[in-house]
């Protein structure tokens, strides 16, 4: 595995890869969720590139940029064992300069749900993903469905800007207790983790309701919120949208995403279910 830190180092290493390339962009603190993206990239391509960069422009003032978990050595080891060919670990001044040209999230889809709770977040995500996709020039790039709105906006960006890289959605990976894997789970105390399990349970409840014939999204949302309120510190949103992120009144099988954002203690967690 070649570890690169600057654009020039990366470009030199990239030239040695002659064949299809799968790319997995991450912010590090790698867990089994990331590993599943890397494995899928390996299965579907001859070479795999991973980036680790905690992107400052997607964090809002007061968010956890400074305490975002960093595990550089462990991450390198995980990538090496997983068979990654190039690991790109730039610093902020490698990725950004002053007075940059900006990619902006779309005014509606980028400012609802996560974009409403975290205004400007998706501008930063799209900015860095655009840079990384252009730099890496991969055939396919892999993103988890857990960040459903991010995935949808990146897919739209790739379409709107005629990018050559195909955006590949990957399933959510959960711990045995059902909690979706996230680098932020390390912030949870034992008690908070128990409370956090209400999030996947609320999605499970929604799924059971749908299986028993309840398609009215308000009723499903209300029963999820009732369950979440039994333990989480704050329910930021529970919303049911179609794959274009438009709110829907009735569940559309094969075209629905149920989304939750909640705070447990001070930790903000998101999860979702694709129906
Ligand atoms: O999902 C993430 O880890 C980040 O938002 C991404 C896509 C690596 C951009 O910084």
Q: What is the CATH number of the domain that holds 206?
A: 3.30.1300.10
Q: How many Å lie between the centroid of ligand 1 and the Cα of residue 25?
A: 6
Are residue 142 and residue 56 in the same domain, yes or no?
A: yes
227, part of any domain: yes
Each residue's pLDDT tens digit, 25-46: 999 999 999 999 999 999 999 9
For the chain, percent of residues with pLDDT exceeding 90: 100
68 lines ligand 1 (CB under 6 A): no
248, part of any domain: yes
Ligand 1 atom closest to residue 51's alpha carbon, by position in its atom list: 8
Task: Name the residue with the closest Cα to ligand 1, atom 8.
Answer: 26
Q: What pLDDT does 253 receive?
A: 97
- Separation of alpha carbons 107 and 110, rounded Å: 6
178, part of any domain: no
Q: What pLDDT does 58 receive?
A: 98
- Separation of alpha carbons 87 and 84, rounded Å: 7
Of 34, 131, 145, 146, the active-site residue reads: 34
Confidence of residue 260 (pLDDT cuts 50, 70, 90): very high
Q: What would the mean pLDDT of 62-85 be, rounded to a whole number?
A: 96
Task: Name the residue with the closest Cα to ligand 1, atom 2.
Answer: 26
Final residue of a structural domain among 148, 170, 192: 170
Please give the residue range of the domain that contains residue 270: 183-274
Q: How many Å lie between the centroid of ligand 1 and the Cα of residue 128?
A: 8
Each residue's pLDDT tens digit, 168-179: 999 999 999 999
50 lines ligand 1 (CB under 6 A): no
Q: What pLDDT does 187 receive?
A: 96
Count the helix, strand and coil residues of the chain and give each as a percent rounded to the nearest 5.
40, 20, 40
On average, the pLDDT of the chain sits at 97
Task: Name the residue with the closest Cα to ligand 1, atom 1.
Answer: 26
Q: What would the mean pLDDT of 147-153 be, rounded to a whole number?
A: 98
Are residue 114 and residue 196 in the same domain, yes or no?
A: no
* Sign (positive or negative) of CA dihedral 68, 150, 10, 16: positive
Each residue's pLDDT tens digit, 239-248: 999 999 999 9
């Amino acid at each position: 595995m070649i570890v690169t830190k600057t654009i020039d180092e990366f470009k030199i290493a990239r030239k040695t890869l002659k064949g299809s390339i799968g790319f997995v962009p991450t912010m590090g603190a790698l867990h089994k969720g990331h590993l599943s993206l890397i494995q899928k990239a390996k299965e579907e391509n001859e070479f795999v590139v991973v980036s680790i960069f905690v992107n400052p422009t997607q964090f809002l003032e007061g968010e956890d940029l400074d305490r975002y978990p960093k595990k550089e050595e462990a991450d390198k080891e995980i990538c090496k064992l997983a068979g990654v060919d190039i690991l790109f670990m730039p610093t902020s001044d490698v990725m950004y300069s002053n007075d940059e040209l900006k990619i902006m999230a779309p005014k509606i889809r980028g400012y609802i749900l996560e974009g409403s709770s975290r205004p400007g977040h998706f501008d930063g995500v799209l900015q860095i993903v655009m840079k990384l996709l252009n730099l890496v020039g991969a055939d396919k790039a892999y993103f988890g469905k857990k960040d459903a709105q991010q995935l949808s906006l990146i897919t739209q960006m790739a379409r709107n800007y005629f990018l050559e890289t195909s955006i590949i959605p990957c399933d959510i990976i959960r711990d045995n207790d059902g909690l979706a894997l996230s680098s932020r789970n390390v912030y949870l105390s034992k008690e908070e983790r128990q409370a956090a399990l209400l999030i996947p349970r609320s999605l499970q409840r929604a799924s059971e309701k749908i299986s028993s014939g309840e398609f009215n999204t308000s009723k499903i949302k209300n029963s999820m919120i009732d369950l979440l309120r039994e333990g989480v510190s704050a329910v930021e949103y529970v919303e049911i949208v179609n794959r274009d992120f438009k709110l829907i009144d009735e569940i559309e099988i094969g075209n629905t995403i149920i989304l939750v954002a909640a705070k447990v203690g001070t930790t903000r967690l998101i999860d979702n279910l694709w129906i």
